[in-house]
Amino acid sequence: MGSTWAWRKSSASGGANDDCVEIAWTGETVLIRDSARPRGAVLAVDPAAWTAFVSWGPVHPVAVAAEPDVLRMLGA
């Protein structure tokens, strides 16, 4: 599954902070994985759940790293 999709890393990652997740859009599902373990487990969520999560981000700083481009891909 790891090489099939175009994975995107948060723009908030980089520098000394290698703790990050990557996401991929399959056309039906949002996939989430640990960027340090690209061949590891993948969490699959439906677009409504992902949109709810990233919408929660502006109110809760822990989620601010979500990519705005992903919301555009999902039509949110």
pLDDT at 34 over 60: yes
pLDDT of residue 8: 86
Top-confidence residue, 9 or 71: 9
CA distances from 56 to 14, 15, 45, 50, 51 (A): 23, 25, 16, 10, 8
pLDDT at 53 over 90: no
Radius of gyration over every alpha carbon of the chain, rounded to an integer in angstroms: 12
